[in-house]
Amino acid sequence: MILVTGANGFVGSALVQRLTADSSLCDVVVTLRRKDILWPKGVKSVQIGDLLSTTDWSKALEEVNAVVHCAARVHVMHDSTKDHLEIYRQVNVLGTLNLARQAAKAGVRRFVFLSSIKVNGEITQPGLPFTADDVPAPMDPYGISKQEAEHGLLKIAKQTGMELVIVRSPLVYGPGVKANFASMMRWIDLGLPLPFGAIHNSRSLVAIDNLVNMLITCLKHFSAPGQIFMVSDGRDLSTTELLQHTAEAMGKKIILLPAPTSWLKFCATLIGKRAVSQRLCGFLQVDIEKTRRMLGWTPPFTLEQGIKKTVEAMKR
């Protein structure tokens, strides 16, 4: 039996759908913070409340032999005087390690942790992608909390013998995607000219179906335990190329003005959006060679297929 945390989130819900669609895979347990929803046949749901250092996972872990931990705090919704790093730590570090300790005690054989490329950092140099063996260099509270969780999980795995697999993911897109990718599709849909026609960066993405396939591979593969893996679509794009591919999938004509990236960065800094300009213009590449070599894993879906599926879901 497999426990999936964060099952009503973007990645977790897609993983549960895939697990339940394959009759060769185990039954699934999902955990919820509050309100229950209708799950496919073969899914057991357990309400556990918030992911904290005091959460009791005993009911959710009954007869479970593997955990895929997707639940996390991704955003701090309201700015306040509180330390944002401490808010992230409560869930992403203390809550995660509490689950791992209880899982090991309950006899869980394998623990797959969905981490983030932000553990490596925010930017790469051209032609020098992040690898799984790089020294971590997180730069924001979310990335720091994920790195601290990885460190704590490695300790628990060493102490208890529970098999640990860590998967670091870049931006995930697919049906139901929100945030920046959804905003990009809205820009294209409006048909307004966009000043992003001369951005020559490279960024790695991963389609939700590819990420789910990778997580399931990590559940089963004999070489996965004790490793950190990168995941992506295996093909990097510039922001300009991504806009063009998405517009084509949407059947929309897009007007991209060739504004210099230096001008875009300057304007973004003036209005307090420097981080946004970094995501639009900067490089952020990951190397999945270790993943290919050790797991024999190749992304089963192309970038074009992933974008097409995302657009079709938006239209529905």
Q: Which residues are catalytic?
A: 142
Please calculate the CA angle 223-227-231 and round it to the nearest 5 degrees: 95
Residue 4, beta-bridge partner list: 30, 68
Using an 8 Å Cβ cutoff, are 167 and 232 in contact? no
DSSP run (H or E) holding 165: strand 163-169
Token pair listed for 186: 């809205």
Using an 8 Å Cβ cutoff, are 303 and 232 in contact? no
b (16+ CB within 10 A) / e for 218-244: bbebeebbebbbbbbbbebbbbbbbbb
Residue with token string 């593969």 = 221
Residue with token string 């307004």 = 192
Q: Where are the alpha helices (DSSP H) in the chain?
A: 10-21, 84-88, 96-105, 141-160, 179-190, 208-220, 239-250, 261-270, 274-281, 289-295, 303-315
Pick from 26, 165, 145, 151: nearest CA to 75: 145
